Structure 1
Amino acid sequence: MAEAVVETNAKDVSSLEAPSKGNGEGRPKGKLDVLVQGAALFSDGYNIQIIGYMNSVLAKLYPAQMTTEVKTRLSNSILIGDVFGMIIFGLCIDRFGRRIGIILTTVFLVLGIILATAAHGATIEGMLWMMVIGRGVAGVGAGGEYTVCTSQAVECADSTPAMKKRRGMLVAVATNAAIISGFVASSIVSLIVLAAYGGEAHEGVWRICMGIGIVLPLFIFVFRMRLADSEQYKKHAIQHKVPYKLALKFYWKPLLGCCSAWFLYDFVVYPFNLLAPTLVAGIQGDTKSTLIQSIGWSALVNFFALPGAFIGALLMDRIGRRQTYALGWSIVCVFGFVIGGAMIQLNKIFPLFVVLYALFQTFLSVGPGDCNFLVSSESFPTPLRGHFLGFAAAVGKAGAAIGTTALSACLASYNGSVQGQQVVFLIGSAISVVGTLVVWFLIPNHPENLEDEDVRFRNYLELNGYDTSDMGLKTPVKTLS
């Protein structure tokens, strides 16, 4: 009797394969598998936002070297790395599987954090450039995590009927809520470390705060490596001869909508997060604000985005993705125009400014903050989810880099800080109007099951002469003959 090895589609052999210990095979997916992706994105949020607070510390330590251009360079370096990571790993995880992305993104993230934390140079300028490079490398890993974690979260959340009904909520908590929690954690860590140094700027403050960002990625790495590729990926993966032309022809409209909405959102939200200490210090008055007070107030403002993420998560499965998207954007428009129009009066009522600014942040999170990840995942089929999700996220990060540069320059161009802040809020509100229109006219309704979109795409390919017989992973199965 001889053994013959035949190739079979992964779907057809799922019942014949023995569970593989140590890599998650054979174990039913649960909510924890979805939410663990949030732990990785939490660390990304922390590492992205921490520089907003450390810019204030660095400006106190190195006032001559920390010009507006250098601050923007430090803020944008991780965002530029994000763009490369999102595109590269979006292609990688569709071709080679989701799990390989976990290894490579963690390597880049950890290496970049080490380089930035240990940055030194013969001059202060050289040290700051080393920090820029390190954060850029970390950005490649963080950007890859957006694609890897979101794809895994969406596909895990679609694995059981009960989870499908709450797919929107689960993914929103594992993506946007996790990232915002990282933003909040970065402010809390900054305050604790700064307080330990007596509220004074010190080199140890920025090195400790940046270095802490390495802890969580390493801690959860082993657990994440136990997760298997989803059944959707095994069944529908296209690892050779990807039909890009057909895919773009079929999905150009949702791709345009997702890219535009994410670009506009990041153009607004990242500058407002990173500039929060500057905005608060400006309206409070430089002579009144200590370093701890400035970071503390901006931490409070950023915290209000967190309940927004949970409100959006609750709405998502009840009123729909597109409706939640548009609702959040439209309310942001109202608050932004109110703040911008009344900025001179608000300059005399600081607590009211903080409340309105917090609500502005809250509804940015309710709508586009929650929906960007989910809609950019659900709108596309499994074999190309990484491609399109990564591209849309990369366009978003390009918006973040452009928005940070543009709004920082706008704020700095006004001698009077109140006028500069007024213009910045009015620009943010005008962009939100465009975002609302983009969402309503270009974003599709979500599929009830991810399999529905996969079947629709497969049928489209077959109608257009594409051979779908090679789709799916090919697994060797031993049979007796």
Structure 2
Amino acid sequence: MSARPGAAAAPTARIDIPARMDRLPWSRFHLLVVVALGVTWILDGLEVTIVGALGPRLQDKATLGLTSEDIGALASSYLVGAVIGALVFGWLTDRFGRKLIFFTTLAIYVVGVGLSAFAWDFWSFALFRFVTGIGIGGEYAAVNSAVDELIPARLRGRVALIVNGSFWAGAAIGSLASVALLDTSLFAVDVGWRVGFAIGAALGLLILFTRRFVPESPRWLACHDRIEEGEAVTAEIERKVEAATGKTLPPAEGELLIHPHKTFGFGLIFSSMLGQYRGRSALVLLLMIAQAFLYNAIFFSYGLILTKFHGVPEASVGLYLVPFAIGNVIGPIVLGPFFDTVGRRKMIFGTYVVSGVLLLVTGYLFAIGALGPVSETAAWCVIFFFASAAASSAYLTASEVFPLEMRALAIAAFYAIGTGLGGVVAPYVFGLLIGGGQPWPIFWGYAFAAVLMIAAGIAALIWGIDAEGRSLEEVAAPLSLAR
């Protein structure tokens, strides 16, 4: 049987690695994967929240003396770095494997966070935020690929949502930490916010240590002509699971006949993305843009809304962000299992549309002055209970509806495009709108984000993929599959 176009000829091989991985019961091994890989989002949430909550303090002449526009531009700088990091490391993840890259990207992230603690003006801070963004952008591709390929199919949806939603656990911690960091009785005006970044860098170094226990994806190894390594990794995982559960695993059912290749050319990857999978590509792009615009527009500017429109003292901003973050954490935990039972399409539709409708209502109430700081925070908690699950489902969709050989690059490409269109522009635009001091222009920004969410939800219901409970190879056949 001949090899597929775009790669050198290779003999066929019969593998059962996907079936063996998907039949595994939940064990300590899977918990290790979730903690070692997912904890990055907690750290990211912590330091991004510190930037958001400390926005008003950074405008103080005793610190960096930034403007509202500068705060928005910093968020955009971070997101530009994330876009570049996603594209570069997305390709490298598919080329050199998941494990090498999720070590590298976390190291870059730690460097960026650590340097942020020593920023001396807007431009230095923007540069360090850019470096941090490069690391976190690469993490999205490498980590989501690895999680999907190491977690059993029947649990993949809820685990992916919880991992991506864990960002908000870090946000809650960051919100509380910002209260202490802004307390001038504990830290000098220009010291507290720097301490927050230094702590984040130190924690990141600890995470690097735990990641050495996470193996390379055996699915990736097999498709890249390293079948013996893939078999060995799978056997070791099975041994650990049997030792942890005390039960012998049942036989695996299902094999694949593949043409393994060491590399896969860009021509084959992009022709698949824009040809056979163009419908899926369009859907993922819409989901990514909608959630990126919603989140980045609101989250990066919420501290300014509280201080400028509700008169909340700078030192208390973090207290209002805690319940907001908690709503984001609880959403994926409560709603995640339904993505594996009720189904992907229905749940994506529901979470996106409900988020959009609630945002319209809340934005209007804000514009007419009907909300105070407490009631608006409560409204955001409800909105983002649903929006957090919706945003996480966008990454889940991007990571499971494309073939293994292009999975990381697909995640990276759609994250980059979605973040570039919905994320880089939104914080800067909302910074300008808030700086204008009028509520109605801000409402129209919210309305635009709401319409995007509703449109994306409807598209998911019509053109989405029923991926619940199905192996990754069934959802999207590998490019190396023998025909």
- For the aligned pair, the TM-score class normalised by the smaller chain equals 0.7 to 0.9
User: Which stretch shows the higher mean deviation, 223-232 or 139-148?
Assistant: 223-232
Tell me the residue number matched to 1:208: 195
- Indicate if the aligned counterparts of 2:157 and 2:339 stay in contact, CA closer than 8 A: yes
- Indicate if the aligned counterparts of 1:99 and 1:228 stay in contact, CA closer than 8 A: yes
Tell me the residue number matched to 1:19: none
Tell me the residue number matched to 1:174: 163
Deviations 1:389-425 (A, max 9, x none): 1111112321211111222223333x43x33443333
CA distance in 1, matches of 2:185, 2:471: 54
Aligned residues: 424
User: Which stretch shows the higher mean deviation, 324-333 or 55-64?
Assistant: 55-64
Tell me the residue number matched to 2:305: 279
AA of the residue aligned to 1:395 = I
Counterparts of residues 4-403 of structure 1 (less than 5 Å):
29-61=29-61, 65-120=65-120, 127-158=121-152, 164-175=153-164, 177-195=165-183, 197-198=184-185, 202-237=189-224, 238-242=261-265, 243-248=268-273, 249-284=275-310, 286=311, 289-343=312-366, 346-347=369-370, 349-366=372-389, 368-398=390-420, 399-403=422-426
Distance 1:134 1:193, change over 3 A: same
CA distance in 2, matches of 1:103, 1:351: 41
Distance 1:64 1:224, change over 3 A: closer
Deviations 1:251-281 (A, max 9, x none): 1211221122111111111221111112223
Task: Normalising by structure 1, report the TM-score.
Answer: 0.81
1:239 is displaced (CA, Å) by: 3.6
1:110 is displaced (CA, Å) by: 1.9
Distance 1:8 1:215, change over 3 A: farther
Q: What is the root-mean-square deviation of aligned Cα atoms in Å?
A: 2.6
- The unaligned stretches of length 5 or more in structure 2 are 1-9, 18-26, 225-260
CA distance in 2, matches of 1:222, 1:278: 37
- Indicate if the aligned counterparts of 1:313 and 1:370 stay in contact, CA closer than 8 A: no
1:97 is displaced (CA, Å) by: 0.8
AA of the residue aligned to 2:358 = F
1:114 is displaced (CA, Å) by: 2.4
- Indicate if the aligned counterparts of 1:301 and 1:354 stay in contact, CA closer than 8 A: yes
Distance 1:67 1:371, change over 3 A: same
1:221 is displaced (CA, Å) by: 1.0
AA of the residue aligned to 2:192 = V
Deviations 1:278-313 (A, max 9, x none): 2223442x3xx2112233213322332111121231
Tell me the residue number matched to 2:250: none
Counterparts of residues 414-425 of structure 1 (less than 5 Å):
415-416=437-438, 418-425=439-446
Distance 1:343 1:53, change over 3 A: closer
Distance 1:10 1:277, change over 3 A: farther
User: Which stretch shows the higher mean deviation, 342-351 or 441-450?
Assistant: 342-351
1:344 is displaced (CA, Å) by: 5.0
CA distance in 1, matches of 2:139, 2:93: 11
Q: Percent identity?
A: 19
Tell me the residue number matched to 1:470: none
Shift >6 Å, 4+ stretches: 7-14
AA of the residue aligned to 2:146 = Q
Tell me the residue number matched to 2:450: 429
- Indicate if the aligned counterparts of 2:331 and 2:385 stay in contact, CA closer than 8 A: yes
Distance 1:346 1:166, change over 3 A: farther
Deviations 1:139-187 (A, max 9, x none): 11111111111111111103xxxxx322111121122x21111222221
Distance 1:222 1:380, change over 3 A: same
CA distance in 2, matches of 1:12, 1:437: 38
Deviations 1:115-140 (A, max 9, x none): 221223xxxxxx22111111111111
Among candidates 462, 470, 480, match of residue 441 of structure 1: 462
- Indicate if the aligned counterparts of 2:402 and 2:410 stay in contact, CA closer than 8 A: yes
AA of the residue aligned to 2:76 = N
CA distance in 1, matches of 2:202, 2:478: 42
CA distance in 2, matches of 1:245, 1:56: 44
Deviations 1:438-461 (A, max 9, x none): 3233432216001324546445xx
Distance 1:64 1:228, change over 3 A: closer
Deviations 1:213-264 (A, max 9, x none): 1122210212212322122111223542421344121112112211221111
Distance 1:10 1:192, change over 3 A: farther
AA of the residue aligned to 1:337 = L
